[in-house]
């Protein structure tokens, strides 16, 4: 039997996972030698994530952190998706702990700064391609394909911000750099200095800042991002979204351990029919579920705040 203190520690690894707007839309239930990860719909993004795709991807990321964190402590973790929840069963094994994995979980951050090329990129790109499954593909894009995807991503970002409801919702999650909130994104994660960070939520609510940033965003994706990566699945349901979260976090942690960074770019996945443009560029019938940047971040922001593991128990 796994003691409660150890289970709490393993759950804490799950809370370090990325989530859309740092909404942390999960909760946990402790059973005998197992952890259930469930959606917390009270923290869903009603406007920006109408189908709950990003919510379930976030759950998948938390589940992968828990799986790897448990393994690093010497426990075998068996992960099952059942309806809309993830069940992680723990069994003690004789393996040694791996503090390197724990550090990767705790140190991984989403860096929206420019990325540089690095010798580790080819190795990680090969690793990511190896993550593909029978009904799930990884597309590692550079050159002309990357440029075309970047054009779609920037257009989708501008289009998303034409929705006043979306801007209002986003403004509630973008925080000043001195915020005490444990939910949301301090503006320093977007490279915004503290003085300006106090007015950024207001600007976001009333101005389409993505329209103003089209040129810089295009430069970021085309010239300052070595690879754009797309995960696409055969199915388009909660199971596929959770599995996307598993695979994205597996890739993000592998990148972290080699000194690289990743950052999601959700607009072309969630906005209108832009995902069809991605399908055309990638020449696939599978449904794109995640688009993210990959490279060596020239700068990393502080980690976004997190709620205590005890805040999520059912």
pLDDT digits (tens, 9 = 90+) for 166-216: 999 999 999 999 999 999 999 988 888 999 999 999 999 999 999 999 999
Helices in 16-98 by DSSP H: which ranges?
53-72
Domain ranges of the chain: 4-108, 115-162+209-297, 164-207
Q: Which fold has domain 4-108?
A: NADH Oxidase (3.40.109)
Per-residue pLDDT tens for 122-163? Answer: 999 999 999 999 999 999 999 999 999 999 999 999 999 999
User: Do 4-108 and 115-162+209-297 agree at the fold level?
Assistant: yes
**CB under 8 Å to 195, separation ≥6 — which residues?**
none
Contact 98, 72 (CB under 8 A): yes
- In CATH terms, 115-162+209-297 corresponds, of 3.30.2040.10, 3.10.310.30, 3.40.109.10, 3.40.309.10, to 3.40.109.10
Spatial separation of the C-alpha atoms in residues 42 and 22, rounded to whole Å: 14
pLDDT-wise least confident of 16-20, 142-146, 149-153, 298-302: 298-302
Those residues with Cβ within 8 angstroms of residue 290's Cβ, 6 or more apart along the chain or in another chain: 57, 229, 230, 231, 244, 248, 264, 266, 269
pTM of the model: 0.96
Give phi and psi for 128, each to the nearest 5.
Answer: -65, -40
């Amino acid at each position: 039997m796994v003691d409660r203190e150890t289970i709490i520690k393993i759950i804490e690894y799950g809370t370090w996972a990325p989530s859309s707007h740092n909404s942390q839309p999960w909760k946990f239930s402790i059973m005998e030698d197992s952890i259930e990860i469930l959606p917390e719909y009270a923290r869903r993004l009603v406007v920006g994530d109408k189908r709950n795709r990003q919510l379930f991807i976030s759950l998948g990321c938390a589940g992968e952190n828990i799986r790897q964190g448990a393994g690093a402590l010497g426990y075998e973790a068996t992960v099952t998706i059942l309806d809309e929840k993830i069940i992680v069963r723990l069994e003690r094994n004789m393996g040694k702990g791996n503090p390197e994995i724990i550090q990767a979980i705790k140190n991984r951050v989403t860096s929206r700064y420019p990325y540089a090329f690095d010798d580790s990129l080819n190795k990680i790109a090969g690793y990511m391609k190896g993550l593909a499954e029978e009904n799930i593909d990884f597309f590692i894009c550079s050159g002309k394909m990357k440029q075309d995807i970047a054009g779609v991503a920037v257009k989708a970002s501008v289009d998303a911000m034409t929705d006043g409801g979306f801007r209002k919702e986003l403004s509630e999650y973008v925080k000043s750099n001195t915020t005490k909130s444990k939910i949301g994104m301090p503006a320093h994660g977007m490279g915004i200095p503290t003085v300006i960070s106090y007015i950024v939520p207001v600007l976001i609510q009333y101005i389409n800042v993505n329209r103003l940033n089209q040129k810089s965003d295009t430069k970021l994706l085309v010239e300052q991002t070595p690879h754009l990566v797309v995960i696409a699945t055969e199915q388009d349901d909660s199971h596929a979204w959770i599995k996307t979260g598993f695979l994205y976090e597996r890739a993000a942690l592998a990148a972290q351990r080699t000194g690289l960074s990743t950052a999601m770019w959700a607009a072309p996945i969630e906005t209108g029919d832009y995902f069809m443009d991605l399908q055309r560029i990638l020449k696939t019938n599978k449904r794109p579920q995640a688009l993210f940047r990959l490279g060596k971040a020239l700068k990393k922001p502080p980690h976004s705040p997190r709620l205590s593991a005890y805040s999520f128990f059912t």
